[in-house]
Chain A
Amino acid sequence: MNESARPAQRPAAARRSRLRLYALVSVVLALLIGSWWLHQRRTAATLLRTEPNEILRRPELIRAAVSIGRPQYQRHCAGCHGSALQGDSKRGVPDLAKNVWLYGNDPVDVERTILYGIRSGHPKARNLTDMPALVRMGQITPDDAHDAVEYLQNLAGQPHDEAAALRGRAIYYNKGNCYDCHANDARGVTDYGTPALTGPVYVYGGDRDTMYQSILNGRHGICPPWVNQLSAVQIRALAIYLVTAPRAAAVARN
């Protein structure tokens, strides 16, 4: 009797073991997914609730932010800013790798720029000023513009025509009214998003022709708003990534 029952019981026992194994694996998987999901939510909440400058003091939060922010950067920002944050001077995209921050590199400022953009049309966008086409508008003459360029070459410590630079200085502070936006020391004003004109890094390039073109035609750089495209935590993480990436690169270089 026992002998004849054995073959039928074996497959049933094996099936039961398999089912139990599947059930166990499913439960473990569900627990893993659940804890990963909870961890992600907790990380997101911590990143959002912690002050941005406090995040910069906590390596574990920086790591979490970078792991969220870097893929977002590559997906949404690298098209303009370059895969290594190097920007594109031909299009006036700032070199973030060299810390060129028109509106300041405090993470709160960076986050605001990402959220609402620059001259993006969003009501909260950064949109205080534009580089006017001073020559085309007739505010200064082409000769004035060339003189102003010589003055800027002087400020940057580059070879320049001394007499023209002196005339250019007068243009900078009087007729051209350049100091009003670019500051008395020509180091730019982050409140307006006006770039430093003293080099060595420029938004559009520091050569004479590019500078002249800026004064001749004006500039109108833009950055789109991401408030409706990315989640709050993605934007916070992106801001932290952008602020820390150049520092990390500098540390790696040294």
Chain B
Amino acid sequence: MAKVGVYVCHCGSNIAGVIDVEAVRAFAETLPGVAVARKDLFMCSDSGQEMIKQDIRDGLVDRVVVAACTPRTHEPIFRAALAAGGLNKYLFEMANIRDQDSWVHAHDPVGATEKAKKVVASAIGKASHLKPLEDKFVDVTDAALVVGGGVGGIFAALELANMGHKTYLVEREPSIGGVMAQLDKTFPTNDCSACILTPVMVDAGNHPNIELLTYSEVDDVEGYIGNFTVKVRQKQTYIDWKKCTGCGACAEKCPAKTPDAFNSGLSNRHAAYIHFPQAVPKKAVIDMGACINCAGRTIGSEPRISKKTGEPIYAPCEKACPAGAIDRSLALDPNGTIRELKVGSIVVATGFKVMEKENFKEFAPDCENVITALQLERLISATGPTGGKLLVPGTVNKPHTMTFVSCVGSRDERFHTHCSRVCCMYMIKQARLLKEKYPDLSINMHFMDVRAAGKGYDEYYTGARAMGINIFRGKVGGVEKLPGGALRVMAYDMEAGTPIEYETDLMILATAIEMADGAKELAQKMGLQFCGNNFYRELHPKLGPVETSVRGLYLAGCCQGPKDIPDTVSQAKGAAAAAAVPLSQGKVKIEPILSEVHPEKCSGCGICVPLCPYDAISLKPYADRPRAVIDMTQCKGCGVCTSACPSAAIVLHGYEEEQIYAQIAALTA
């Protein structure tokens, strides 16, 4: 019979402040199979762990139950203690009497104590039936994938590459750079965004260990830590990138136009285009959605022959290309090509998008002079549609008064409850830059409150006040379009305690940061989870900020939550360090919490085979007939096959039927 040791933790007053720990310990002592039951102020402390190890060494216990916090954070710690004491670490079970008991039932100490007894009994029941298991180790493919080529992805890739690991950097736009490439300057130093980003983009483009896969998207991810197989779809560029020199002649001659996303729709680009002037790689693509097939040159068709000259008629882009990189006679696949990559770890840095103004009817979104802050960023950028001159969109006029509105869609129950974290600071930056350039410009800023918590940020904000920028605390209630194009702003000044109204020429909305397009689909391909509906969930909000619940998958940047550039770069370097661990170790541990078929019980019915989400089960001959076999490297231990098997021939190690029945019996005793 098993000799179970039960260790009940006070967790300071976290547990003992509500639950009668001694009563739980004394109760545990009476249960069959329990050899010792002890308590300690902090079971996870050195002395607490030592207590367990000593009991193991003394031969008193061969199964361990710790009643404490949650296995989600502390199971690994106690498992390690078992191993150090000389016991198989899988002979351990935790009873969650803090997170799921004392913390939630503080209003009912008696009920909480009774629940704790049941939960401990359940853990003892399971522990009595636990069997020793062995970790497995598999080799690792020494390569990494970074998804998303913004500043976060670029730094993650550079770090991994500098550590000597082959790194693929996948970006869906034709160039890396992300949103940072769209910015004019960066707070709180007013560094030119392009000046600090472009050299890093070039480094990533030239690094011998980095392979850029731009204009590409992740199609499918399979496998597990150390051995992922990723299908990347390289979208059809319609231009031979091996020949393209990025001269831009095709774009110059292309007559088709479509709104330029890089300029946030403030200007048009051509169907043949280069993403932006400093693009890396600097290659042109043809956007077939916007192409008008001039000269009847649909892709894959032979050119028409001129009746006058007898010469073939080519499209302007073809004629313009001096490198001969465009040939519309080729029947190029509009779906592009699929590239299969083998990698050991993956960093997801897919960034964010900002909400469009159309969501906010109270701010007259139909007016051209109401724009988002990202649009303003393009409007004041030297590479933007006006060459950096501040003009009211749709006119050639300079504004005399302009208005900034914070928290548009952020901290608003109608849209997003989160704070977008960067808006206060970038609005102050934009206002400061404009005030420096146009001292006569009257700038009014409306904040719910100013959040300037970063290094040097509050000084930057105080400086803005000193420059004569008007800062109001209070929300803007609405905006009215006036004849002649100006806008009437109706707001509240909380400090003066009065409503204010004035006319403005240009209105800037600091719209909320939200998850990037396609984030949901990517999450489903990778098994990532969300925090609510907004951003990818990290493994632990404090202690696992770059890891995810999928081993081998790490997060960096705004896909995990809104953050500024320094925080994104920090997290990217952290994610790269974490992603490099399995690559450097060369082998990864596979926990044996996996399913296994007892072939002698298997009837070979095959019900389990299509149920497995990982195609890990196949029928293979065994004795007289085919029976199910599970590939341990493919199995992830979900147990779907176990619960479906009519012959009870499949066991999920660590969650065996008799273990769960013992738990049910204990809970209903």
- The yes or no verdict on A and B being binding partners is no
- A residues near B (Cβ < 8 Å) are none
B residues contacting A by CB (< 8 A) are none
